[in-house]
Structure 1
């Protein structure tokens, strides 16, 4: 079953050779890296939206070293319990989590606004349908998805409700209250605990919370890994340059990562 939708006319896309095409004859070629770009000009707000190449490289390096493996494993275990067929990962980035999810679903679509990230993702796994696209118009047909996942990514609620089947699920992963607290203390004058539960409140009209868990991962980072962690977070550009430089001089840094996982069910 084809899941992709033409972002221009919203008709179903069918794959013909190396091209996705709709009934209105809008066509989108699969790039040599193995992804399709469905982020059309009229939906763009900047020339190169999404994460910078530096941020993508840093995340690839940090995640492939296994520091966030406890979260990856927990996410996969939760998906296994849901016994789903079609999965849409919103904000898939360079594919670290999406690749692991792929074993638990029949079809997986990974979508991200950052072309540089999707290019990296597509190089490593051809079993996922990788798409450059925007959450404002998810390039997926209505009521075809069993589970939408959003890990540290935006939650376009109206579009998620559209693409989910009537009994579909939404998984949200967001920083836990104490996530990277020690690093944030080093980078900023004032630090507050994250408030993950606000997402549940915001989604409560259309989604029912059915499961929540907190995953913790103690980290011991060398200088290079610490630099990658800083570079892959929004703190990289929010912190004062001198504070960032000072922290990047540290040769061994111990801190804790904390992740909040919510599973919500679409209300009928």
Structure 2
């Protein structure tokens, strides 16, 4: 894989269990199978990214089969592209990454949350994916080395994605649709504004051309633990008023609709403005 040294930006080569560049900067591969390329000079906090509690909640929730419709649609979109290399930005504990790995042989997955990458790498017993602790602000791969960037509910580092993608490379983005988890948001907030997925399309133009877009809807029937996990894995966990969250978490059953927008873009061949 074309991993890049975060210090000097030269290519990293795996020698036994250490990633090393020509300047002898070295990064040991952890026993779980990941490498930490989030160097201290790029950190803005001691433990960046999702908390271990949020990661654990998301893993329980997704393991129960929720959001499977989105996972399958991601596979359906990627399959006909017939790609060899990709990076999954903000991979979390690897729910969508593992599905992509069945379609793309050379796959790098990066997340800023070390606890999430640890779980993802530990689950990947066949070592199908190169798991990296790192930041989207400096993607740990070399220039124009990949055919696809994917980002699901994660920030979109536009300049970095343009740098690492080959000409005509693809970008796959999943983001909440306007009515996503609307009933839950009404229970947690006094004022609810619809999500604005179209803003991503505008932000990515003109360097990325929109090829396809899809709306995925899924009605969720949650028990109390699943509801608590869904709240804990979203930003609502710390944005909502504590008293409203407490009332909602006491519900024994809860019905809510998940709605996602999935966008497939292609890197424009024209000049970058």
Under a length normalisation based on structure 1, what TM-score does the superposition of the two structures give? 0.99
TM-fit CA distance, 1:249:
0.3
Contact kept? 2:147, 2:166, Cα under 8 Å: yes
The whole-number CA distance in structure 2 between the counterparts of 1:83 and 1:177 is 31
Per the alignment, residue 215 of structure 2 pairs with 214
Per the alignment, residue 74 of structure 2 pairs with 75
TM-fit CA distance, 1:192:
1.3
User: Please, which runs of 5 or more residues in structure 2 have no aligned partner?
Assistant: none
Contact kept? 2:213, 2:262, Cα under 8 Å: yes
The whole-number CA distance in structure 1 between the counterparts of 2:15 and 2:42 is 25
Contact kept? 2:105, 2:128, Cα under 8 Å: no
The whole-number CA distance in structure 2 between the counterparts of 1:24 and 1:156 is 27
Residue deviations 1:9-57 (CA, integer Å, cap 9, x gap): 0000001000000000000000011100000011000000000000000
The whole-number CA distance in structure 1 between the counterparts of 2:244 and 2:55 is 22
Residue deviations 1:204-255 (CA, integer Å, cap 9, x gap): 1201000000001100000000000000000000000000000000000001
Q: Does 1:27 align with 2:47?
A: no
Residue deviations 1:64-110 (CA, integer Å, cap 9, x gap): 10111000000011010211110100000000000010011120110
RMSD: 0.5
Per the alignment, residue 260 of structure 1 pairs with 261
Report how many aligned residue pairs link the two structures. 267
Residue deviations 1:138-172 (CA, integer Å, cap 9, x gap): 00011011010000000000000000001100011
Per the alignment, residue 203 of structure 1 pairs with 204
Q: How does 1:144-223 map to 2 (within 5 A)?
A: 144-223=145-224
User: Please, which runs of 5 or more residues in structure 1 have no aligned partner?
Assistant: none
Q: How does 1:80-159 map to 2 (within 5 A)?
A: 80-125=79-124, 126-159=127-160
The whole-number CA distance in structure 2 between the counterparts of 1:151 and 1:15 is 28
Contact kept? 2:27, 2:36, Cα under 8 Å: yes
After the TM superposition, which parts of structure 1 deviate over 2 Å for at least 4 consecutive aligned residues? none
